[in-house]
Structure 1
């Protein structure tokens, strides 16, 4: 990487406006922004394409999809991490919080196993200078699981850990409050029998003392870990105002994927940042029957977009927010705010003040985007001034 690089002839998506101009990158940072072209022969002409800040992803299960592409089929961690990293960068994501599940209440799934081998793989690839994205970790802490703390231990003091979320994915709870959809999911995707679903639903609805004690002890331990490390803490699938109040009392600052408009509104009123799924926005509805992200947007209740399980959905959803209608190109007046939901807002939510927008002094994490038929196409990605995609 050269100490200095000039990108010229771009539509720069700044914090509050889109301007045609040029940018000087120096030693991995944005050194200067100039309106109009820069008269340097070495400048890279972007030909009027958009230049966005690198996207920041707080919650993606994409690594899990590469590690276990089919039920019961697990690939080597080295292969999974590299494939995940390449896909993330190709989507314009320069900072990613890999969401790793710790704990499975039923001891059958991928999240019930030790996945910490990926730590050594990420560090080795990073040391070799071949990671495309900046990989951080988001540990998804399954409160009812009796092995959650055991699986958490290898990550506790690792330098990549930046976010914890508190979850309960048992039937009848939060995301799976819609029992018809829950039954279909657990039977058809998880392979449960109808009898097993009914039994687990009863256990979840009327937990015994041991289960309640485990949930409370796990919650206390994870909250203490977040406070000790100064980590951001998120709640997951808040469904009722009571869920939000409980989260706020614990020190939670992010409400991930609230499942109802009521919960999302209560979260924002309580000062929590709300996260919505980009696949939900693109599809127009939730796969689990929860509130649509379009409803959150219309009600002014969305702060952050997440690609969730489809990396390429993040930029597409940003463009959807920036369009007046489905057939229109991005509106330059709407684009800065739309981009911020996938860059500045998530970065600030987890304490990253050195990225997420195009401004002098910040990291040169950038995405070149060309609009084709009103849709965004990634043509180039830089992280810390280095071309990675």
Structure 2
């Protein structure tokens, strides 16, 4: 954490209640106070930063990102060193405006990066590398596939050793959830694992067999055990009210990517934080032909956004909701900051621009209406900076 004083002026500050023109005073890596425009000091002490009229918003929190998996294994059977993947992704995340990342790693008894032993190895590397050197805040989101019957002991061990920060329960068996159609599930296996023909048939048959003997009581116990250790538990791809009731009974408080309007509305009505994917928002459709995320947001059933698989889509999704759907900017920003911080139990430190919180900040400039991160700060220290430029074009990207 950087020591000393920093003053920021000439900013449009996105606070929990709206946009305030003025400046910020940062002391020893934390926000000391917001200074309204008419009271900005002409004489400053310490380092002074001119925001040049940029929006200044809290650093984004990405609760669910497969990006590290894709950095390690960009194509089936093509692997890169874990330390290289970690450091190279970290630079990209800083440029995207993500200051707290929950790396979602799938304990699915699969192949490649989703093999159980490799998942454990990746978690160990994340813990080691973030202690040695880290630009941003790294956390572990363990995605447990309920058909991975032996994997439940691994989950318990990771919980007991305090190596995960978020647990989600997934059921990707065909015929329900995300994959109601056989073809969509086969396409998923081919895309994710690179399997085909006989190998594909064997994997599908094994999953169908495992689905018949899922031990739901043990899964409930592991969810309760995680909660008892202070770990938040989420559900994944909910599609029916009955499934949501089951997850609520297990102690789930977050619903990731509900499949349809019914699931989104029911989850929200039962006080779950409903999280949708920013790629779905930006593209205007689901890659699996499920619910359009923008519809859930417009109807008031979704109040959080994560990157799913593309962190660079988060900030554009926020400004799209503001520019196209007329959502007040501070409410759109809350979907990637304070709403998530509250649900994840970290709102005492991050998620909003308020006195006492860590100075994790983004300076955002609009280029032809498109949001670009000009500066990223973590604990009051600049970790990413892009030279500002001015466009002569009047074309608006969201027009």
TM-score, structure 2 length as denominator?
0.88
Any conservation in 2 of the 1:171–1:200 contact (CA below 8 Å)?
A: no
How far does residue 184 in structure 1 lie from its aligned partner after superposition?
3.2
Q: Distance in 2 between matches of 1:186 and 1:119?
A: 23
The CA deviation string for residues 5-59 of structure 1, in whole angstroms up to 9 with x for no partner, is 1111100000111011110111111001101133235421111001000111110
Q: Distance in 2 between matches of 1:150 and 1:73?
A: 29
Task: From 47, 51, 59, give the equivalent of 2:52.
Answer: 47
- Paired position in structure 2 for 1:110: 113
- Paired position in structure 2 for 1:370: 365
How far does residue 157 in structure 1 lie from its aligned partner after superposition?
3.5
Task: From 336, 343, 365, give the equivalent of 1:349.
Answer: 343
- Paired position in structure 2 for 1:13: 14
Q: Distance in 1 between matches of 2:192 and 2:90?
A: 26
- Paired position in structure 1 for 2:333: 339
- Paired position in structure 2 for 1:155: 158
How far does residue 194 in structure 1 lie from its aligned partner after superposition?
6.1
Any conservation in 2 of the 1:95–1:136 contact (CA below 8 Å)?
A: yes
Alignment of 1:23-34 (within 5 A): 23-34=24-35
Q: Distance in 1 between matches of 2:202 and 2:80?
A: 33
Alignment of 1:77-116 (within 5 A): 77-104=82-109, 107-114=110-117, 115-116=119-120
* Shift in CA distance, 251/150, structure 1 to aligned 2, threshold 3 Å: closer
Any conservation in 2 of the 1:77–1:117 contact (CA below 8 Å)?
A: no
Tell me the matched-pair count. 377
How far does residue 187 in structure 1 lie from its aligned partner after superposition?
4.5
- Paired position in structure 2 for 1:383: 378
- Paired position in structure 1 for 2:259: 259
Q: Distance in 1 between matches of 2:377 and 2:161?
A: 26
Q: Distance in 1 between matches of 2:78 and 2:128?
A: 25
How far does residue 70 in structure 1 lie from its aligned partner after superposition?
1.2
- The question of 1:122 aligning with 2:117 is answered no
Give unpaired runs (5+ residues) of structure 1. 326-330
Q: Distance in 2 between matches of 1:87 and 1:158?
A: 30
Question: Does the residue aligned with 2:86 lie in a helix, a strand or coil?
Answer: helix
Q: Distance in 1 between matches of 2:42 and 2:128?
A: 41
Question: Does the residue aligned with 1:18 lie in a helix, a strand or coil?
Answer: strand
- Paired position in structure 2 for 1:74: 79
Once structures 1 and 2 are overlaid, which stretch shifts more, 278-287 or 224-233?
224-233
* Shift in CA distance, 201/126, structure 1 to aligned 2, threshold 3 Å: closer
The CA deviation string for residues 162-199 of structure 1, in whole angstroms up to 9 with x for no partner, is 21100011222311113342233334654455677677
Q: Distance in 2 between matches of 1:203 and 1:165?
A: 22
The CA deviation string for residues 82-118 of structure 1, in whole angstroms up to 9 with x for no partner, is 12222222111111111111123xx434212322333
Root-mean-square deviation (Å)? 2.2
Q: Distance in 2 between matches of 1:156 and 1:39?
A: 52
The CA deviation string for residues 245-293 of structure 1, in whole angstroms up to 9 with x for no partner, is 1111111110000011111111111111101000001111111111010
The CA deviation string for residues 106-146 of structure 1, in whole angstroms up to 9 with x for no partner, is x4342123223334433443334x31111111110111013
Task: From 175, 194, 197, give the equivalent of 1:172.
Answer: 175
Q: Distance in 2 between matches of 1:187 and 1:56?
A: 30
- Paired position in structure 2 for 1:328: none
Q: Distance in 1 between matches of 2:176 and 2:215?
A: 13
Any conservation in 2 of the 1:173–1:204 contact (CA below 8 Å)?
A: no
Task: From 143, 149, 153, give the equivalent of 1:140.
Answer: 143
Alignment of 1:175-254 (within 5 A): 175-187=178-190, 190-193=193-196, 207=209, 211-216=211-216, 218-254=218-254
Any conservation in 2 of the 1:178–1:289 contact (CA below 8 Å)?
A: no
Task: From 350, 353, 360, give the equivalent of 2:355.
Answer: 360
- Paired position in structure 1 for 2:387: none
Question: Does the residue aligned with 2:144 lie in a helix, a strand or coil?
Answer: strand
- Paired position in structure 1 for 2:397: none
* Shift in CA distance, 151/72, structure 1 to aligned 2, threshold 3 Å: farther
Question: Does the residue aligned with 2:141 lie in a helix, a strand or coil?
Answer: strand
Any conservation in 2 of the 1:187–1:194 contact (CA below 8 Å)?
A: no
Give unpaired runs (5+ residues) of structure 2. 385-399
Q: Distance in 1 between matches of 2:301 and 2:201?
A: 35
